[in-house]
Every structure is written in structure tokens, then in C-alpha cells.
Amino acid sequence: MAKLHLSDREISLIKGLLTHKGMNDQQVLAVFSYLDRNMNHREIAQIRRGDKPRYVAIAAAPLAEVDELLYHYAKIASLADRLGFCEMDPITAKVHKAVEIMKTAIMVYNNNMIVTRSETFIVLGVIAWTYLVHAHLEAQSVDPIYRTPDGTDVLIDGKPKYWELTYCLGRPEAALTKGMINNLRYIIAIRNEVEHRSYEDINAEIQSKIQAAALNFLRYAKEKFGPKFDFSHDLAFTIQLQALTLGSPNMIKGVGLVSKSVAAVNALIEEPMSPGDFNDPDYAFRVHVTPKVTNNAKNADQAVTYNPVGSNIEIAIKQVERPKFRQKEAMERLEAEGVPHVTSHTFQKAWKSKNLKNPGKGMAILLGGVWFWYQEGIDAIKEIMLAGQG
């Protein structure tokens, strides 16, 4: 076999791994060698030391390129697990199973031809989350099995009864954020509500909760079990066969009637929430599409702007977190800012005078049958009330 000749790019990436990641020679060799590559670890050492003028002249790859290389290498490591190159431990096998189930849930949800895609995602998503949290608990030496007071396993059909996801949410060892816990409680509540009692279409109404559940799962899997479980590039944008316009039939336009099952869960889960919990992207990740000409991205955690169809396409995504406040909280903020005579009557009179609840103004939003005010709406009401008293 002929001696391997490394390209300039390979040398640059090797130097990047040594510089940015602090890898030793053996670790770098593992990334760049396989059966058909006759590479010796001594060459890695020569690159590290700069033994040849060529090695000195080539700059280390920037961190972004090194991270991209390691992302793709992580997929090789994940494939090696599944192909059985090494025996997989039970925890790793459980994480792989959880990821495959979640990927299936996302692919089903992305299929607009399936009417019950939300219900299917929720059922599969709860199973995937259960496997994933169980794996993390077991990695923390916590056995997620129900036991009797004397310490013996609770059995069902002769097998140990594992904790349901609902029970896992209350365990600090699970290391879930408050937003993740609220999101999963919502997802589980929807599952329980629609399981036997609802035939309504709920796809549009819980989209932000499903989006958050998938993003949270991805982050949790990567943070707890490593980059080889990063499947973000496997499930990105789907093919769009219709021009994306405000008139597209698949666009959510305005606020419609909320199905009874979703309204019931909204009242149960969201009514007691603080504004901070309600606005947490881990709880609900809202994406709002607005025309490029308006530059108005007030209703979402992420805003997608686009140029009209027929022009050069431009897509931009940015974080836009906007707190929302119930009327009582909005009135308290007005009083704290020195607005006199703030009552329910004067508050209502002020917003009605300028029709501030008009969805097109972006001042307030109706969620689960309850109106929430953005800070822009509160500021507008303050201006109206102060002008009326001047």
C-alpha cells in the first residue's frame, strides 16, 4: 500500500484539532485513519511539532471548520454503534432507540398529508422522551423502577414496572429545565385529553409545543450523551411545493376557534403560569412568518422574513423573545410606572379607543381564550391614558 500523502486541508484540520480541541496524537489519528488509509501516529506528532516547513506554513483550520468535522465524525461513531463494531452498553442502546423513535415522530409530523400527525407525534414523542430520560437516570445510577416499601420491584405481568414519564418529571436527577417540564406536562395532558375523547383537528393549535418538545429532546440528547446523538442535520427543512405567501392554505392566519380538548389543557396548564414560564421557548417555541416589507416580527420566538414570490429569495431567522402579560399584570405595570386611576374600566376604555386588540397591530394576542398584552400594547395604553388625563 502506497504511503499516504496528506492534503493541505487535512493538515490544516489536524492542526485545528490539536489547537482548538486539545486532542492528543492518538485521538487525532482515530479521526483521520481507517482500513484503507495507511497513516502513522508519528506523522501527527510531526505536524504538531512542525517538523517540516510545509507543516509550519499551513495554518490551523478555524474552530467552525473543526466543529463541522467533528459533527460529521460523530455520525460515523453513531453508525459504528448501530453496526455492532463494539458491544453497546444498555444505556447507549436505549438512547439510540429513543432518537430513532423521535426521528420517526418528526418525520410523521412533517407529513402534511397525515391528518392525525400531532396525535402521532405526541404518542411517539412521549415514548422517545421516556426512553431518553430513563437512560439519563440510569447513567446517574438511578434505577427508574417502582418499588414497594420493603424495596422489592413492583411487577406487571412478571416484569418490573418502570416509571412513567410524568413521574420522571418530578425527579431532580432527570436534570430537566422548568420549561422542558412544563412542555412535557402539556404534551402528556394533550395525549390524555385526545386519547379517547376528541376527534378535532389540533395540528395548528399545539404546533409551538411540539416544536419545543423536539428541540428540547435534541438538546437534552446532545448535552447528556454526546454529539453522536445530534440528528439536527438529518431533519431540517422539508420540500415546499407551494409558494410561501400569506395566502398559502397551510399558513396559520389570525386566531381561530380552539378545539375543546386543547382549550381544556390550556386552562389547566397555562392559567397558573407566570409570564416568564409562559414565554419560555423550552415550553413553546413559536415561529411567525411575516412579509419582508413589514419588518414586523413581534409575535414569535423566531421570525422568518421573506421577499415576495418572484423576487430574489431572502430568508432570515432571528431570536425575538417578547414577554406577554395578562390584563391584571399589565395594569400593575402601568401603576408601577406612575399612571394614575388604573382600573379595569379605564384600561378597557383605553385599548378600545384605538382597537389595540386588532391582531394586525401586534399589541396583544389571544391564547387559550385569554388575552395577553405585549409591552408595546401596555406602552400604547399608557400613552392613551396619560393623554386623556392631560
- Kindly list the structural domains of the chain, giving each domain's residue range(s) and its CATH number in brackets, ordered by start: 8-83 (no CATH), 90-234 (1.20.120), 286-322 (no CATH), 327-389 (no CATH)
Predicted pLDDT of residue 143:
94
Amino acid sitting at position 20: H
Provide the pLDDT confidence category of residue 235 given band limits of 50, 70 and 90: low
In 218-343, which ranges are E strands? Answer: 287-291, 302-306, 316-319
Query: Are 358 and 376 within 8 A, CB to CB?
Result: no
Percent of the chain with pLDDT over 70: 80
pLDDT digit string (tens) for 162-217? 999 999 999 999 999 999 999 999 999 988 887 656 566 777 778 889 989 999 99
pLDDT digit string (tens) for 69-114? 888 888 888 787 778 777 888 999 999 999 999 999 999 998 888 8
Handedness of CA 125, 127, 132, 133 (dihedral sign): positive
Let me know the angle formed at the C-alpha of 235 by 230 and 240, rounded to the nearest 5 degrees: 160
Query: Are 184 and 213 within 8 A, CB to CB?
Result: yes
Tell how strand 287-291 and strand 302-306 pair up: parallel
Distance CA 79, CA 83 (A): 6
* CA dihedral angle for residue 61, residue 65, residue 69, residue 72, rounded to 10 degrees: -170
Ranges 25-34, 52-61, 372-381: which has the least confidence? 25-34
Query: Are 220 and 300 within 8 A, CB to CB?
Result: no
Specify the pTM: 0.63
Distance CA 132, CA 93 (A): 10
Provide the pLDDT confidence category of residue 34 given band limits of 50, 70 and 90: confident
Residue positions counted in the chain? 390
Collapsing DSSP to helix, strand or coil, 165 comes out as: helix
Q: Which residue, among 163, 282, 280, has the nearest Cα to 218 in the 3D structure?
A: 282
Rounded to a whole number, what is the largest CA-CA distance in the chain? 90
Radius of gyration of the chain (CA): 27
Predicted pLDDT of residue 251:
43
- pLDDT above 90: residue 250: no
Q: Which residue, among 248, 232, 230, has the nearest Cα to 304 in the 3D structure?
A: 248
Tell me, rounded to whole angstroms, the distance of Cα 381 from its chain centroid: 34
Q: Which long-range contacts (C-beta less than 8 Å, at least 24 apart) are formed by 291-297? A: 291/246, 296/362
pLDDT digit string (tens) for 123-136? 999 999 999 999 99
Q: What is the mean pLDDT of the chain?
A: 81
Let me know the angle formed at the C-alpha of 242 by 236 and 243, rounded to the nearest 5 degrees: 95
- pLDDT above 90: residue 237: no
